[in-house]
Amino acid sequence: MEGDCLSCMKYLMFLFNFFIFLGGACLLGVGIWVMVDPTGFREIVAANPLLFTGAYIMLAMGAMLFLLGFLGCCGAIRENKCLLLFFFMFILLIFLAELSAAILAFIFRENLTREFFTKELKKHYLRNNDTDVFSSTWNSVMITFACCGVNGPEDFEAVPHLPHSSLEKATPEACCQRELQSQEGMFINKEACLTGIEKFQNRQGCYTVILNSFETYVYLAGALAIGVLAIELFSMIFAMCLFRGIQ
């Protein structure tokens, strides 16, 4: 009976570690996609230090879980006490690190509000200054997502850095509609856009557009994170039980 229980524990641990292996592969894949994606998400990440750091943390966690799941599977199948002990200690550290990251994300969530981005835009945006990382990043985001400012074109009315023309409320070129939403895309009517004709402007704020675009992915990432934490917890329990059961 004891042998059957140990065998069952071994295969259960293998199963849970296989899920950790898959979870690590998913996190690694998402992290790589965020860093190399040419469609605009990389610019959003670069615009906020917290998101930029989070992307690298996701990469590191994905790589560690990928390796750890593989080691856990090997330790369970081969019934190696050394591998099992190493697995338990390592996954405990990762579990605590992920828990700490979740707590920090909750604490600093106010840095991702509409008001925060609006304040930063009005403070640092320099319009068409391509040598300024903040401005060029915002221009790329607005062009890619066909949006303007955080809330809309009105965000730029109070930006003191904008070199206005004869028009008092000049709109940045990045807010003008294009035939193709990319840096190389031709303007539909640049002059009309800059004179304030709304028909040729992207009127919707980037905050709403981006939130709607990635809302599904945020919930998916949250569900995946909860699932990974639960799997890690059960894997630690199985690893310790299997460690104690091996003679």
DSSP secondary structure of 46-107: HT-HHHHHHHHHHHHHHHHHHHHHHHHHHHHHHT-HHHHHHHHHHHHHHHHHHHHHHHHHHH
pTM here is 0.53
pLDDT of residue 44: 57
Are 190 and 173 contacting, i.e. CB atoms less than 8 angstroms apart? Answer: yes
- CA separation, residue 185 to residues 7, 40, 161 (Å): 62, 15, 26
Other beta carbons within 10 angstroms of residue 40's beta carbon come to 19
Are 148 and 201 contacting, i.e. CB atoms less than 8 angstroms apart? Answer: yes
Q: Which regions of the chain are under pLDDT 70?
A: 1-6, 34-35, 37-54, 108-112, 129-130, 158-170, 216-218, 245-247
Rounded to an integer, what distance in angstroms lies between the CA atom of residue 51 and that of residue 47? 8
pLDDT of residue 111: 62
pLDDT of residue 234: 76
pLDDT of residue 137: 83
pLDDT of residue 235: 73
Strand partners, 187: 178
pLDDT of residue 139: 87
